[in-house]
Chain A
Amino acid sequence: MTHKPDPTPPLRDIRQTRLGRRGFLGSSAAALAGVAAFRPAHAQTPPATAEYTPEFFNAAQWAFVIAAADTLIPADEYGPSGSEAGVPVFLDRHMQTPYAQGSIWFREGPFDETLGRDFGYQGPLALADIVQTGIDQADAWCRDTRGAGFADLDEEARIAVLTALEKGEPEFARVSASRFFSDFWKELQVGYFADPSWGGNRDQAAWKGIGYPGVRADYSDWVTVREAYPLPPVDLAGNRG
């Protein structure tokens, strides 16, 4: 049951790299060095969804992600849709981080899921595997029950599928539908609202839509003012939204 100690999880930044999944399974010394390493400025603007070639997801999964992002986050007066904001780009990149690959979760067995919901996910999979496996299962379920993959369904049907997943109605073999939905939807929200350098929230449009000032992090002048905050957001790269 004992496994090899893996000192402090690798916290290196992959936003500026194109490392594949295996690239993160390096030595612990490299991981530690990564903690202190200087990170270049957030200068590079990530590509739009349409211009991006996924590295983590295959074509079918990518179509699912785009369709789901736009169903869960439709465009309206409060901001762009998920794919317009680059959320699929965020997700493809984020799935390749040490975090999504399981670096900060305890993942050794035995795996006992009998205690129930109060004790959280008790399976062996990392977040990236939960998302990827969940997408495959959900897409297969759409084909079995509705005769088409998720991306080929109309909006009404997509909403019905996502509602069923959220409620845990389909019986999936490896990852429960509700577990998948919960982790997947959380990831999409993070992607929508994270700093644009992570791939989503293009042009800080998601922040502007909800009135969030981004990384300004200095409100001494507004604590006791009882009005709307007047300044637009700022991102990590210093761009004004």
Chain B
Amino acid sequence: MKSLDVFFNCREQVIEEWVNAIFNTYPLQSTGFLRTVKDPFTNPVADMTREAARTVYEAVSGWDKKPEDVKQAIDRFVHLRAVQAMLPSQGIMVFYLLKPIMRKHVLPKLKDQALQDYLDAESRLDTIVLMAFDIYMKSRETVAENRIREIKNQHAQLVRWAQRVGGSPLEQEGKS
């Protein structure tokens, strides 16, 4: 059996375990809801986690995936983790929770000569984590930028008005 098939055959089990491992990082009382409610709008956290997990696992397995598609699939998930109350390391490290699960389910089923295939898969995960890191940083910058823009917007007209009062150097602005 080709390595890719081994990855494929364990897919549902690995993804489910990984998603649950991510849910388990949230308080106990919340995980039941995260696990059971399937609607993407009434349980968005589970939806974005599942979306990310599926695409990431497929990309890690070695399926043909464009970097753009992977980014798109993890975008919501990383945006969420970038603003939830946790350390940056905790935000990102959930990707690495995939490794022990793959080592449990995939690695033993691979033939010896396929070890390189497995190592390649883990390296692909490392690449995805770096992509996630970029999105994470961008998200944090957006939060900071939002703060600045908001403060500016609140008083936008006051500043404009203050510049007009008493005559602005700009002729057309100083007519009040």
A binds B: no
